[in-house]
Amino acid sequence: MKRLSALVAGAALLLAAGCGGSGPETTTNAEGQEVTKVTLTLNWYPYGEHAPFYYGKEQGIYEEHGIDLEIRAGQGSQKTVQATAAGQTDFGWADTPALLAGVSQGLDVKSVGVFLQTTPSSVQFFSEQGISSVDDLKGKTIATTAGDALSATFPAFLAANGLSEDDVDTQNTDAAGKMAAVMSEQTDALLGYATDQGPTMQEKAGKEVSYLRFADHGLNFFSNGLLTSQDMLGEHRDLVQRMVDATSESWAAARDDQETAVAAMEGASEQLPSQEVLAEQLASTLELLHTENTEGQRPGVNVEDDWRDTIGVFHDAGVIESAEEPSTYWEADLSPKE
C-alpha cells in the first residue's frame, strides 16, 4: 500500500494550492433559469460505467436541478480524491477505498453516496483457459497493479476461498498494461473490474472473457461513488443535495433507457470504447447498484451496515490503519430524495 499512501499524502501540496473559496459560478440557461456551474471529475477516462452522467446532462436532468454540469476525465481514483479535497473539482467519482485512504491521511473529503455497492472486482481471463473456480487459479500467473484496491483485497479473496498468496504468481504492471499482458499470454489472467477491462479485451482479442467475481465468492465491498469536499458541504450544502438528487435520478433513468444513455457518450473521449463495449460495460455496471440492504431503493441510497462492512474489509487489508465510524467517511443526511 506504499504507492497508495504516497499518492494520497502528495495531496498536501494540492491542498496548499487549492482553488476553493469563491464558490461555484452561476449562469443563465436558454430558458432564463439560473443554474450553477458544477464540475465532476471521473475516476478514469470515460467508459460505459459513466454513461448515466452523460445521459443526465443530455436529457436535462441536471439542469432541472439547477446544475450546469461539466464532466471531466480522471486519471485514477486517488487523484480524483486529491483534486476534490483541493477544490480543483466540485465533485468526484471515485472508488471507496481511495476515499477511505484519503480521509485517513487527513484529506477533507466525504462520500455523499456510493452508487456501485457491489464490487466489480474480479479475476479476468479468456474462457479457453478452462478456469471455473477459484481453486483453478493455483499455479496461474495474474497481472496486478501494486498499491491499488484490487491488489490489497486479493489476499482476502483467496483466503475466503481456501487459498493463499503462495498458490498464485502475480506480475506487477501498470493499469493500462494488464490487458496486454493477458492478450500476449504473458499472464493467464488479470485483476480488474468486470465492468471495464473484460468487455474491451474480449472485443480486441475476439475471444470470450470469463470472470471470477469477488462478490460471487465471499468478498463484497463498496466501489465507486460521489464525493465532495468538506468546504462544499459547509458552504454549499443545498447544491450538494441537488447534485446527489440529480445523479440518483440520472442513474435511475439511464437504467431504463440504456441505448440512449450509451449514445449520449458520443464524443466524450478520443479513447472512448465502441458502442458495443460501452453497452456491455453499462449493463454490467447497473447490476451493481444495490446490496441486500438497499434493494429497491433509489440509486445512491446507502445504509450504515454496508459502510461498516466495507470499512472492515479495508482495515483488514491495511488500506486504513484505523476503522472509524461510517460518519467519518460518509454524509448520511444527504441521501437522495424523491
> For residues 19 and 268, what is the distance between their CA atoms, to the nearest angstrom?
25
Of 124, 191, 182, the residue nearest 153 (C-alpha): 191
Predicted confidence pLDDT, tens digits, the chain (338 residues):
434 444 444 444 344 334 444 568 998 888 888 999 999 999 999 999 999 999 999 999 999 999 999 999 999 999 999 999 999 999 999 999 999 999 999 999 999 999 999 999 999 999 999 999 999 999 999 999 988 889 989 999 999 999 999 999 999 998 879 999 999 999 999 999 999 999 999 999 999 999 999 999 999 999 999 999 999 999 999 999 999 999 999 999 999 999 999 999 999 999 999 999 999 999 999 999 999 999 999 999 999 999 999 999 999 999 999 999 999 999 999 999 87
Residue 10 CB: number of other CB atoms within 10 A? 13
CB 310 within 8 A of CB 221: yes
pLDDT at 268: 97
Phi, psi of 308 (to 5 degrees): -60, -40
**By three-state DSSP, how is residue 122 classified?**
strand
Q: Which residues, 6+ apart, have CB-to-CB distance to 269 below 8 Å? A: 45, 46, 73
Q: Which residues, 6+ apart, have CB-to-CB distance to 252 below 8 Å? A: 298, 299
**DSSP letters of 246-298?**
HHHHHHHHHHT-HHHHHHTTTTS-TTPPPHHHHHHHHHHHHTTS--TTTTTSP
> For residues 164 and 155, what is the distance between their CA atoms, to the nearest angstrom?
7
> For residues 216 and 195, what is the distance between their CA atoms, to the nearest angstrom?
15
Domains of the chain: 2-118+222-334 (3.40.190.10), 121-217 (3.40.190.10)
* Burial status of residue 160 (CB atoms within 10 A of its CB: 0-12, 13-18, 19 or more): middle
Residue 93 CB: number of other CB atoms within 10 A? 26
